[in-house]
Structure 1
Amino acid sequence: MAISDSLGDLRTLEIEDGCIEYRIRGGGPGPAVVFLHGIIANADVWRGVVSDLASDHRCVAPDWPLGGHRLGMRPGTDFSLPGIARMVERFLVAAGLDQVVLVANDTGGAVAQYVVSAHPQRIAGLVLTPCDAFDNFPPPPIRHLRLFGRTPWGLWLLAQTLRWRFVQRLPIAFGLLTERPIPAAIMRSYTGPLRDYASTRRDFAALVRQIHPHYTIDVAPRLASYRRPVLLAWARERRRFFPLDHAHRLAAIFPDARVEIIEDSGPFVTEDQPAAVAAAIRRFAAGQVEGWQGFM
Structure 2
Amino acid sequence: MPTAALRAGLISYTDTGGTKPTIVLTGGLAVGGTLWDPVVEVLRHDFRCVVPTLPLGAHVEPMAGGADLSLPGLVEILDDFLELLDLHGVTFVECDTGMGQLLAASACERITSMVLCSCETADNYPPGLPGRTVALAAKLPGGVNLAMQQLRVRALRRAPFTFGWMAKRPIPDAVMDEWLRPLQTQRAIRRDLTKYLRSVKASRQALREATSRLRSFDRPVLVVWASEDRVMPVGTGRHLAGLFPQARMVEIDDSYTLLPADQPEQLTAEIRSFVNVSASTL
Alpha-carbon separation, structure 2, partners of 1:129 and 1:231? 8
Instruction: Please list every run of 5 or more consecutive structure 1 residues that lacks an aligned counterpart in the other structure.
Output: 1-9
Which residue, out of 157, 173, 176, partners 2:146?
157
8 Å CA contact 1:36–1:112 kept in 2: the answer is no
Alpha-carbon separation, structure 1, partners of 2:222 and 2:187? 37
Alpha-carbon separation, structure 1, partners of 2:281 and 2:59? 33
Match of 1:172 in 2: 161
Match of 2:218 in 1: 227
Match of 2:119 in 1: 131
Shift of 1:290: 5.4
C-alpha offsets along residues 18-57 of structure 1, whole Å, 9 cap, x if unaligned? 110001125474x200011101112111111111111111
Q: Which amino acid aligns with 2:213?
A: R
DSSP-derived class of the 1:129 partner? strand
Alpha-carbon separation, structure 2, partners of 1:49 and 1:28? 19
Match of 1:218 in 2: 209
Does residue 273 of the first structure (1) align with residue 243 of the second (2)? no
8 Å CA contact 1:99–1:291 kept in 2: the answer is no
1:1-296 residue pairs with structure 2 within 5 A?
A: 10-25=1-16, 27=18, 29=20, 31-107=21-97, 110-142=98-130, 143-212=132-201, 213-237=204-228, 239-289=229-279
8 Å CA contact 2:230–2:256 kept in 1: the answer is no
Shift of 1:82: 1.3
DSSP-derived class of the 1:285 partner? helix
Q: Which amino acid aligns with 1:248?
A: R
Shift of 1:100: 0.4
- The number of equivalent residue pairs is 279
- Identical-pair percentage: 35
Runs of 4+ residues deviating >4 angstroms = 26-29
Alpha-carbon separation, structure 1, partners of 2:249 and 2:27? 20
Alpha-carbon separation, structure 2, partners of 1:169 and 1:131? 20
Shift of 1:95: 0.6
TM-score (norm 1): 0.90
8 Å CA contact 1:235–1:263 kept in 2: the answer is yes
RMSD, aligned CA: 1.6
